[in-house]
Amino acid sequence: MDETEFWEIVDSTREAADGDPDDHADLLVERLLRLDPDSVLDFARHFEARYNRAYTWDLWGAAAVLLDGASDDAFDYFRCWLIAQGREVFEGALHDPDALAELLDDFDPSPDGADGDGEEIGYAADEAYEQLTGAVAPELGIPPQPAEPVGTPFDFDDDADLARRFPRLWERFGAE
């Protein structure tokens, strides 16, 4: 599977889900079930590589603004959700996390949005592989995420610093 096919699967299932993360995860599993097990593992490798690329302090800070705080788990789910938004949003956010203010039309921070069901999207390939083979997916053979996020750490509890670092996000989602 190449990168184009990976994003086509993500985009087509997202569009069919009409913004519902639960439906998106279910549709993603259904779509992956049409592939052979090796292709499902290829999809999982693409997903995991992007998940690891998104492990940055700046994206975590953007998530903290969007979610009004972001624990370790919430940031994990956010990264799954971010991949599920498609290539344009994902790559745009990696390049400039503050650009999420313009890249997101609607945003639902509820448990059914970016800080909750993104987790299910992250397990879609594992679930499809298990349904196809009856076995747990093997190790993917890609490097694990770094021990610490990439970039320079900063205090997510400092509203003034978040507003300075992410002015567009802060104006749209953080300022009360």
Of the candidates 42, 62, 71, the residue with the CA atom closest to the CA atom of residue 142: 42
Tokens of 170: 């802060």
Structural domain count of the chain = 1
Domain extent for 36: 3-174
Calpha distance 135→122 (Å, rounded): 18
Name residue 56's beta-bridge partners: 150
Percent of the chain with pLDDT over 90: 72
Calpha distance 146→33 (Å, rounded): 31
Q: What is the pLDDT of residue 19?
A: 78
Determine which of 62-71, 87-96, 125-134 has the lowest per-residue pLDDT on average: 62-71
Q: State how far Cα 10 lies from the chain centre.
A: 11
